[in-house]
Chain A
Amino acid sequence: MKPFTGSLIRPSLLLFFILLPSFAFKAGHPDPVKWILTKECTLKVNGSTNINKFSCIVPEYAQPDTLICYKDNKNGPIKITGSMALDVQKFDCKHAVMTNDLRKTLKAKIYPKIIIKFLNLSKYPDVYNREEAVKGAVTIELAGTVKRFEVDYKYVMNGNGNLKLIGTKQVNFSDFNISPPRKLGGMIKTNNELNVEFVLNVKTLN
């Protein structure tokens, strides 16, 4: 009798231990929401030299990607996984020589991508609130250096249910170990500060 009982208990225990973790995870993490980044996403960089200002833009995001948001509660912070990778070669400063200069400064040949990895948001955008500001953390990988930033976002709910998330952040060339370009023995100098603005056009999938 004894061996027979034992042979029934052991598989049951095994099944219990296999299923236990899946129940545990289900209770702590609600279903994730998928954010599909559409090709209307853009990245704009505004900067200045001692003789002019420049504004360079990656006008569209050719490679749609998905971010996954884990919202634990309605008003609390949410965790995000996913990233967007933009081509440095697609920067356009509306001035051919400045465009080439920016690409060279950002070492486009060695590091062809800018990768923005999304980490969190202070709260999940409220679909009933058409415009609001939130904060969130990202890491930006540029010219081979990865740096974490807190970004201010403004979001707009579009009529079609899509979400437009506009993130702005002031960064420095030096944050990425890049020396701001200087010409003619330093008589023409690019300022270290850059204002980065990225626009995410998001289609939500539950």
Chain B
Amino acid sequence: MSSESIALTGVREPSSSFSDILYSWVTTVDHKRLGILYILYAILFLVIAGIEAIIMRIQLIVPHNHFVSPQTFNQMFTMHGTTMIFFVVMPVLFGFGNYLIPLMIGARDMAFPRLNAFSFWLTAFGGFLLYFSFVGGYGLYGIGTAPDVGWFAYAPLTSKTFSLGHSTDFWTLGLLVSGFGSIGTAVNFVATIVCLRCPGMTLNKMPLLAWLNLIMAGMVVFAISPLTAAQVMLSLDRFLGAHFFDTQAGGSAVLWMHFFWIFGHPEVYILVVPAFAFISEIVPVFSRKPIFGYPIMVAATVAIGFISFGVWAHHMFTIGMSSYGNTFFVITTMVIAVPTGIKIFNWLGTMWGGQLQFQTPMLFCVAFLFQFLIAGLTGIMLGAAPFNWQLNNSYFVVAHFHYVIVGGILFAIFGAFYYWFPKMSGRMYNERLGKLHFWLLVIGFHLTFDFMHIPGILGMPRRIYTYEPGRGWEIWNLIVTIGTFLQAVAILIFVVNLLYSVFKGRLAGNDPWDAWTLEWSTSSPPPEYNFARIPTVLSKRPLWDIKHPEDPDWDYE
């Protein structure tokens, strides 16, 4: 195999009018374009949900503040949580998966390109439906409203008795619709990875990103479905007068909690596993070494996938479960720390003895390792049920899961963004702006979320629109709010860098990082058909084999 046979220049599209371009993007079934659409969609909602977060933080900057009304505040935290989970992090991960999986496994597109487009538009429509509640919550006339039931929408707050109007309906239906989109995407991921790998790419030669996305997709199939079922039940309650979660007719509030968290906890791993995938691709390239313990990494992730379905009730340690129930969920929760720890050690093992290059993607990966470690350790604290009785629903929990989602997942996503930006756009990002973004975000992140642990320890519950002075919470809330603004500036720099580099960045070439997986063998951006000739691979690192014919990987596998 020679490198020319797989490295082909792309076919440039004839330039055309704006409406033609728009039409071609809206009707596209190309996995790369859909991937980019997912990512842009996610950035849009990242900005919206970020503004919601800032509104909350301004409200909490001093006790008894009157920046927004309690109802607005409650809407803000509901929309912020729902948006960030379902319309920022999931789409962006699906976007990267969509873009990268076919390229990395040597395929020309996803298994079901039209289903792929359909799934994206379902997800997009779900988000717009949710946000339509701002104007349509009371019906189509007059002042609107948005859902204010919290992102896990505990019954019976969502029943007709406590939630008048249609705001909760928008929430339910928005998530239902985007849930179908997620299931469609997951089916597509599995079918693509199982059925479209290029010749020679046996399961143990797949890039870890493909493996981890396969596991993630499998988890989506089994985790989003319970949420879908629960949303159908809630809709039946609200539209047809059924009584699933109607406590006045004997329905159970606890049943909703179980259904929600049997989705909700695997969901966390659905979000974090693709983040692991990014780290597992970026760290080796910037350490100039193959991933340490590939089979163990796969096995650990599979273990995480399975165990994550048995830990959901650790979100419910305070609902008065029996001591045996609590004990069971303590052990499952703590056990999941073992495979997670193994992964961290393996990344460290990959870096060990390498030649680390600290470009922006790698900086984000190192920060990920540091922050994810802390997130995991605070997770262990929360997993100890009695400690959880104190910390649950406090700002400690808020800090903990933001450590996971921002400090872990979002940092990994930014790493991935800088790493694959040259491939997607054909141009390099601005390294100085990238580093500035990184350092500002790190400082802002730590200002916000490190200090957010403290009010939780001092008894400050989450979801309160204001708080009493004199409880020792003021200074911490002030620092947290300051950090939020720093993060906002960092995100702004990111967007500027993005816009600037797309048009003005220097040309990147096919393989700016001297990397080893198949996507770097195509042009940047890749042609619509990805590969003129479907490649054949003999090892986990096909481009390493080409670049080092004297010492190819397949000698060691």
- Is the pairing of A and B real? no
Residues in B lying within 8 Å of A, measured CB to CB: none
